Amino acid sequence: MHPGIGAQDGAATGLARVISLPSPSPSAERRPELDLMRAFVVAGLVVFHSAMVFIVGSTWFVTNPARSAGFDVFVLWGSTWGMPLLFVVSGMGIRFALRTRSAGAFLRERILRLLVPFVVGMAALVPTVFYLERLRKPGFHESYGHFWLRFLDLPALAGSLLPHGTWMSGRDEFDPAHMWFLYVLLLWSITLLPLLLYLRHPAGLRLIDRLAQGAEGHPFTMLFAGAVPMGLVEAVFGPDDVSGGWERLANLFPLLYGYVMASNRRFEGLLRRERRRALACALVATAVLVVWAGQAGSDDILAGHVPGWGAVQGLAGWAWIMAILGFAGSWSPRRRQAPAIGIARPGKRPKPWLSRASRYANEAVLPFYALHDPVIVAAAWVNRSLACPDPGEVRRARDHVVRGHPCPL
């Protein structure tokens, strides 16, 4: 299952403010631009997952009878950069969080914000999505309660979820659907924590400053430093259709890069200078992927049977991220240069409306992310059932209600 995003002219200025990071402050205030950026990306998933209903080259939980290859192109484009960008934003958020939290406090916050919603979502939301998918299959007559118990096969889930992303229960395959992002983010946050703690200290900040200085002198350094590790992981381990079309190990790098970029303002200037080169590279790499996908077919690509695909995907994904961040930063009216994040400089306080919007976004983004996928699937299922009802499917849904079983909708 894949995830991505889109924007309009009116949102460009807002996104620019989001991506242009303010001068660091020693206070413990939240940084509103990170909350708004995260909300912007998550809101784009509604567009992306709605498009999944209409793609031709693959199947989703619910598919519309009238489909178009144009949606396949959009989904392919969005999947190259949508979720990696969300990991970049998460890495920036971690950099802010570790300014005011100890390692223990950070781990407790990660568990409350990621592990608890993941468990709740796996128990209450993801089974409904899969049940709606199974209802359209001929010969499926299982009640929702029985299906729910079979879905939550804890021994099978514990043995397969982390290494594979799928588990078998009752000769049926399941996966965590859109909730994969929460546990992968938790996994990499914990794995990288020792390195991130080192990078927030003076020695680590000096190392980051040297990296930024070196990248400024070599234009392609930042592009290939991000693209090569992601492409290698994809080329070696192959894509994973469960975790947004990316092998979950590849998402470790955007998370780390987001942390590093938030630690030194030189990267912001570098992104602005390299934005056109990154955009050209992204367009060429994406065009190659689109033509390649039309020839190879999505099944072979997702199965890892197309050598070289992962390398081009890694290049396209990171190039799009650099281009998006760079152009958004160039549109911002605030372009003040600042040194490493650990050095304080006086700056303007966020406007009241921006602070209020960011607080709301910070509180709403997680429930919105958790609910958007089931709501889209349920709406598509109802729409398809009303447009071209399957008599057997309607009869099964009616029987569930008559027998006292909970209706999946």
Name the one residue in this structure whose structure tokens are 């700056």. Answer: 347
**Which range, 41-50, 238-247, 329-338, has the best average confidence (pLDDT)?**
41-50
The single-letter code of the amino acid at 61 is F
- In 3D, which of 127, 179, 187, 194 has the Cα closest to residue 162? 187
Return the SS3 of 169: strand
User: Across the chain, what does the average pLDDT equal?
Assistant: 81
Q: What are phi and psi of 245, to 5 degrees?
A: 80, 5
Any idea what DSSP says for residue 21?
Answer: P
- In 3D, which of 43, 36, 29 has the Cα closest to residue 13? 36
| Structure token pair of residue 362 | 């910070």
Predicted pLDDT at 337: 44
Q: Which residue has the higher pLDDT, 102 or 389?
A: 102
β 167-169/172-174 pair status = antiparallel
Give the whole-angstrom CA distance, residue 156 versus residue 174: 10
Give the whole-angstrom CA distance, residue 268 versus residue 128: 42
How crowded is residue 73: how many other Cβ atoms within 10 Å of its Cβ?
18
Q: Convert the pLDDT of each residue in 266-294 to its tens digit.
A: 998 899 999 999 999 999 999 999 998 88
What's the average model confidence in pLDDT over 108-117? Answer: 94
Q: Convert the pLDDT of each residue in 151-166 to its tens digit.
A: 999 999 888 887 778 8
Return the SS3 of 240: coil
Put simply, whether the predicted model's pTM sits higher than 0.85 gets the answer no
| Lowest pLDDT segment from 91-95, 153-157, 342-346 | 342-346
| Lowest pLDDT segment from 29-38, 56-65, 180-189, 247-256 | 29-38
Asked whether 49 and 368 are in contact (CB, 8 A), the reply is: no
Give the contacts of 87 (CB within 8 A, at least 6 positions apart): 185, 188, 251, 254, 255, 258
Strand partners, 203: none
| Structure token pair of residue 391 | 């008599």
Q: Convert the pLDDT of each residue in 192-241 to its tens digit.
A: 999 999 999 999 999 999 999 999 888 788 898 999 999 999 888 877 77
Q: Which residue has the higher pLDDT, 178 or 238?
A: 178
Asked whether 312 and 289 are in contact (CB, 8 A), the reply is: yes
| Structure token pair of residue 196 | 């991130």
